[in-house]
Structures are given as structure tokens and as C-alpha cells.
Amino acid sequence: MKLYIGNKNYSSWSMRPWVMLTQAGIAFQEVMVRFDAFTPESQFKAALRNVSPTGKVPLLVDGDLVVWDTLAIAEYVAEQFPEKALWPADKAARAQARSVCAEMHSGFGGLRTHCPMNIEARLPEAGALVWRDQAAVRADVSRLVAMWQQCLRMSGGPLLFGSFTVADAYFAPICMRLVTYALPLPFDVQAYVQRVCALPGVKAWIDGALAEQDFLDFEEPYRLHR
């Protein structure tokens, strides 16, 4: 399988399937397509033109099959590798895991908009201003806290559904945002964020992001680089 991704420092959507595959020990070939712009004439779009029906990443290619949505990628990989237990075995827990992933897939617009993923950066001052001024961000974090606390309480931890699942991979980019902007969290949720950051698959992505040193102005709303 080939997984097409964008810059690891910025591409939150790419992070999800990459972490899922890496943490589960599933072999794949990484194809990194650098962000330069997202206009039709950009190098990014040109590189994907003959591969992706949407011109976006992530994109999973398995032989002649092309899968271009993160949830669809998760479902396909889980079906191909049932022994990896990427969804919880219990039916009720599995339904809940799919529900929280679907909510992540379509929601949390305030957090996405005002706290874009930027793994290399540490922006607590920007985070404090966002927290003060953006009610949508406070509401998103409140929902995350309630969701994660419920999952951890029901499963007993240490991850959302006990052992690693698609849900933890799906929320890994949110954990990156919470760290970058130092948004306030209760102790148990902060501990979960730290556990996610320490997962080998997540740590490998973070290391790759830090190694890029590829700063893109249009991905940097809160600081300027040399």
C-alpha cells in the first residue's frame, strides 16, 4: 500500500492514517507531497492530479484501488487487517468509537480554524488569546474533555477504548494542537494527551515533523520565520 501525505508539521488529516498504520505495525510506502499552495496550478495539485480524484491528502493506494477519505481508509485497513483490532471488539464500544471519529471528522471547526496544527511550534501566548477571544474554541475543548473523560471512564484506559484504536489515531492531531497552544485541560485529559504523544507511532510522526524544517507562510498565522 502507498499512503500519500502532506507536510508532517501541518497536515493533520494525513497524520491520522499514518499514525494508525505505523502504530499498528502495518507496512506501507509513504509518499510525501509537499504543500506549496492549493491552487489548481500548484505543484501540490499537479503531483496528485493523476492519482487522487479530489486532489487532496491523505490518499491510500492499494493496487488499483484508491481510497481518499480518512474514515474510509480506516475502515478499509481495519477490514484488511482484522488481527490488528483497529476497532474495539465489543459491539457497543465499536459503535461509540465510530461515533467519536465521525464527530471529529465533521466537527470541531473552532479548534481547527483558530488553532491550526503546527507541531514544531510552541505558541502558548497565541493560545491564551484564542482561549480568551474565541468562544467556539472553548466550546470545542469542553466537548473534547467530556467525550474523552467518558471514553476513558468506560474503558478504564489508558487509551480511549483501552488499547490503541482508530479513535486514538483520529484524535492525535487534536492532541498536537492542545500541546502547541497550551490550552487548559483537566489533569486526566492532559495525561491522556501525554500518553498519545508518547505512542511510538505518534512519536515517529512528531520526529518527522521536527526534521522537516519547512516553514510555510500560509500555514503560519501566529508567527514569522526567518
Q: Where does the pLDDT of residue 223 fall: very low under 50, low under 70, confident under 90, or very high at 90 and above? A: confident
Q: DSSP letter string over 192-207?
A: HHHHHHHSHHHHHHHH
Exposed, middle or buried, 207 (CB in 10 Å: 0-12/13-18/19+)? exposed
Under CATH, to which class is 2-84 assigned? alpha beta
CATH number for the domain running over 91-207: 1.20.1050.10
Distance CA 108, CA 123 (A): 20
Q: What is the pLDDT of residue 226?
A: 41
Q: What is the mean pLDDT of the chain?
A: 96
Q: Is the pLDDT of residue 225 over 70?
A: no
Phi then psi dihedrals of residue 182, to 5 deg: 50, 50
pLDDT tens digits for 32-42? 999 998 899 99
pLDDT tens digits for 175-213? 999 999 999 999 999 999 999 999 999 999 999 999 999
Q: What is the pLDDT of residue 206?
A: 98
- Evaluate whether 61 touches 2 at the Cβ level (below 8 Å): yes
Locate the domains of the chain by residue range: 2-84, 91-207
